[in-house]
């Protein structure tokens, strides 16, 4: 039996995808402690893991905007710049200290964390166990083949494309993400680690394993993709205890196209997508199912006759019944739609959503509206186009088959076990200071 610590950024998209992986590991006989936000304590304990609380920077119960009030005033690249320099970098000091303390209490054989947990690679540098990462967003490793993360640009080929990418990578490093590099280096200095000129996904280059929770066909091709990357597909969500089908559930069988409107769990302002989406589809011969991401459905005002609204619906129950997903481009929702073979209309530009939306258009699975606040007429036109053009559904079906062949959370558990087996072989020759 191996002793594993999972450590996740205190947000739904970073923590919830790990639940099926952890359950699979526990069922295989491994012991798991999980360092996470308080919001997830009950769910973590319900699958048999031990919950480890965060001593600070736990924004799971209030959200990023309430925890960092200045963030709510920002948008676009300014908000992404803030997230990188503050929301993800500054908590690394807390995370690293807490995890070092957890290892002092009880050693571990492996640390597993999400893309945003940049304390993970630093813990290994300090002599801790190997670190494995799982990707909860697009693959963003720097490459001459792709533009830098954060700009929402599609790849171009040839020498000019490579030159463009190299210039943009340098520019982004010196401007958009310079604050992140400085903030992380302050943390590194506090723990006696040398400074590094690294940004965003480059921290995950130091992981021993990188599990990408998505379809490879959704990502931009890279000739120099790191060897430690494994595409395991999106995890299958765990059953939600206590959820029951709403009274209108049989309406899904009425024979009309089902359009799912998804606002996500971070950027939940209903005026950005839900309200224009409901207005856009009110006159269409479709059934609209809107999911608010937790906000009160009454905020949407009077509903069109063809609309049904809920705070939450398990997507593994809803998306197989859908014909189109209209979404603000959260990575998890998009991958679950592809797992169900559902084409997509994407409208998102905050956090990583500009990159997810760009890949929706590039991969052929749907339409990228290239905005956070689409006009109703743009949504209407896009939904009509996706419903009327079989190429979108065929391409989504291709990625559905790819995802079905990956193994998903079971493949993730198997890859982690392979790493554990190799780490056990090497442990005698590797220096270790943390947790000993």
**Structure confidence by residue, pLDDT tens digits, 28-63:** 999 999 999 999 999 999 999 999 999 999 999 888
pLDDT confidence of residue 189: 96
Model confidence pLDDT, tens digit, residues 75-108:
878 888 888 889 889 899 999 999 999 999 999 9
Model confidence pLDDT, tens digit, residues 212-234:
999 999 999 998 899 999 999 99
Q: Is the pLDDT of residue 413 over 60?
A: yes
pLDDT confidence of residue 426: 47
Model confidence pLDDT, tens digit, residues 257-293:
999 999 876 667 888 999 999 999 999 999 999 999 8
Summary mean pLDDT of the chain: 92
Q: Is the pLDDT of residue 156 over 90?
A: no
What's the fold here for domain 3-233+406-429?
A: Rossmann fold (3.40.50)
pLDDT confidence of residue 425: 44
Q: Is the pLDDT of residue 429 over 50?
A: no
pLDDT confidence of residue 265: 67
Residue with tokens 């937790």: 294
Tell me which residue of 390, 393, 381, 391 sits closest to 284, measured CA to CA: 381
Pairing type for strands 344-346 and 258-262 reads unpaired
Residue 191's pLDDT band, with cuts at 50, 70 and 90, is very high
- 304 or 349, greater pLDDT: 304
pTM above 0.75, yes or no: yes
Give mean pLDDT, residues 188-205.
92
Architecture of the domain defined by 249-404: 3-Layer(aba) Sandwich (3.40)
pLDDT confidence of residue 29: 97
pLDDT confidence of residue 93: 95
**Domain limits of the chain?**
3-233+406-429, 249-404
pLDDT-above-90 percentage for the chain: 77
Give mean pLDDT, residues 321-347.
97
SS (H, E, C) the chain: CCEEEEECCCCHHHHCCHHHHHHHHHHCCCEEEEEECHHHHHHHHHCCCEEEECCCCCCCCCCHHHHCHHHHHCCHHHHHHHHHHHHCCCHHHHHHHHHHHHHHHCCCCEEEEECCCCHHHHHHHCCCCCEEEEECCCCCCCCCCCCCCCCCCCCCCHHHHHHHHHHHHHHHHHCCCHHHHHHHHHHHHHCCCCCCCCCHHHHHHHCCEEEECCCHHHCCCCCCCCCCEEECCCCCCCCCCCCCCCCCHHHHHCCCCEEEEECCCCCCCCCCCHHHHHHHHCCCCCEEEEECCCCCHHHHCCCCCCEEEECCCCHHHHHHHCCEEEECCCHHHHHHHHHCCCCEEECCCCCCHHHHHHHHHHHCCEEECCCCCCCHHHHHHHHHHHHHCHHHHHHHHHHHHHHHCCCHHHHHHHHHHHHHHHHHHHHHHCCCCCCC
Q: Is the pLDDT of residue 16 over 90?
A: yes
User: Do the two domains 3-233+406-429 and 249-404 of this chain adopt the same fold?
Assistant: yes
pLDDT confidence of residue 63: 84
Q: Is the pLDDT of residue 137 over 80?
A: yes
């Amino acid at each position: 039996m191996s002793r594993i610590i999972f450590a996740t950024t205190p947000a739904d998209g970073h923590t919830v995808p790990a639940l099926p992986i952890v359950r699979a590991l526990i069922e295989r006989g491994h012991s798991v402690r999980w360092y996470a936000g308080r919001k997830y304590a009950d769910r973590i304990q319900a699958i048999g893991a031990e919950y480890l609380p965060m001593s600070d920077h736990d924004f799971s119960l209030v959200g990023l905007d309430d925890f960092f009030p200045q963030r709510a005033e920002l948008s676009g690249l300014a908000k992404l710049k803030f997230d990188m320099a503050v929301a993800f970098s500054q908590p690394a000091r807390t995370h690293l200290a807490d995890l070092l303390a957890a290892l002092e209490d009880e050693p571990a054989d492996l640390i597993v964390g999400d893309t945003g947990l940049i304390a993970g690679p630093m813990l290994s540098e300090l002599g801790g166990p190997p670190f494995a990462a799982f990707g909860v967003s697009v693959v963003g490793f720097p490459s001459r083949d792709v533009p830098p993360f954060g700009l929402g640009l599609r790849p171009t080929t040839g020498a000019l494309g490579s030159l463009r990418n190299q210039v943009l990578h340098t520019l982004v490093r010196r401007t958009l993400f310079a604050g992140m590099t400085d903030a992380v280096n302050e943390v590194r200095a506090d723990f006696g680690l040398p400074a590094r000129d690294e940004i965003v996904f480059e921290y995950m280059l130091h992981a021993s394993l990188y599990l990408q929770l998505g379809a490879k066909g959704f990502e931009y091709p890279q000739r120099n993709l790191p060897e430690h990357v494994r595409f395991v597909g999106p995890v299958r969500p765990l059953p939600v205890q206590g959820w029951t089908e709403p009274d209108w559930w049989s309406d899904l069988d009425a024979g009309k196209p089902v359009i799912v409107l998804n606002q996500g769990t971070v950027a939940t302002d209903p005026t950005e997508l839900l309200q224009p989406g409901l207005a856009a589809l009110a006159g269409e011969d479709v059934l609209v199912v809107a999911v608010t991401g937790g906000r009160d459905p009454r905020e949407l005002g009077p509903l069109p006759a063809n609309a049904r609204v809920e705070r939450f619906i398990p997507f593994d129950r809803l998306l197989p019944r859908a014909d189109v997903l209209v979404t603000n481009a959260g990575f998890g929702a998009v991958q679950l739609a592809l797992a169900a073979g559902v084409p997509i209309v994407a409208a998102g530009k905050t956090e990583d959503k500009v990159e997810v939306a760009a890949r929706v258009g590039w991969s052929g699975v749907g339409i990228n509206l290239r905005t956070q606040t689409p006009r109703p007429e743009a949504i209407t036109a896009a939904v009509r186009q996706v419903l009327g053009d079989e190429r979108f559904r065929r391409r989504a079906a291709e990625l559905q088959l790819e995802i079905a062949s990956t193994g998903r959370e079971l493949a993730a558990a198997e890859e982690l076990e392979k790493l554990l087996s190799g780490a056990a072989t090497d442990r005698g020759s590797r220096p270790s200071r943390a947790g000993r």
